[in-house]
Structure 1
């Protein structure tokens, strides 16, 4: 699949929790998330995302990492809302 499943899931989760989204749209998002979970795609994507987060957090704690690399890790973590 060409889409980033984690991003797709985040979008649907946001729609479900958004009070300005219609119940029909929320139900569609619930169905999409259920389908992703049943197919195993969501678990795989979330596991991969968790590994990325752990790696960037480790990079920030590493005293031998350059400031440029740490800045990049901070940016990635901010984007992932970790």
Structure 2
């Protein structure tokens, strides 16, 4: 069974049932999944974590695992924002200095 958000899983299967381009076999599978989830028979541990889903969906990894900080943000995206700050002509010198410090603190070489 999918480990995604249970609400999204059910919505996806319901959409499959209404899609004229999907096979009867696929629709039967969707009916079974919906029935299992609605009856509580599904193997659902209830430990859905949206941060985990976000990390999985991006495919961005370092050493096989996506780095996520305590606030749920992906480290590489946050650092990318700071890199962009350094190249933005509209950014103040103060903001660029802060971005440079954050990048250096995280081991990113700054030109």
- Taking structure 1 as the reference length, the TM-score comes to 0.46
- Compare the two structures and name the one with the higher helix fraction: 1
- Structure number with greater Rg is 2
